[in-house]
Amino acid sequence: MSEKMWSTKVKATCVEKLGKCHHELGESHVFETPLSYVEGLCLGIQDPARIWVTHCAAGLPSWEGDNPDVYRIHCISKKGTVWEFERVEEKDD
């Protein structure tokens, strides 16, 4: 695990919409830290995905065969949204 895990940002992007939801495809939000609250991101995805946001920030590989650097998580609604979580790499100046 990365020592910088607790200060690593993770971006959540809506990649699929299966029904009615106020979130739109392509919409993105950033977790400033793995445990931060994200204004505007509903709790239907924010809370259930918390453990995977933490895993993503730590740099642990996901189960996604096409890209183990991202996690794709469905919200708690059976007709909700699918979100992709990926680390935001900070550039060293």
Q: Per-residue pLDDT tens for 25-53?
A: 999 999 999 999 999 999 999 999 999 99
CA distance 59 to 2: 7
Averaged pLDDT for residues 66-70: 96
3-state secondary structure of 55: helix
Cβ pair 34, 86 in contact under 8 A:
no
pLDDT of residue 89: 82
pLDDT of residue 5: 85
Cα four-point dihedral sign 57, 59, 60, 66 = positive
Q: Give 37: exposed, middle or buried? Use CB within 10 Å, 0-12, 13-18, 19+.
A: exposed
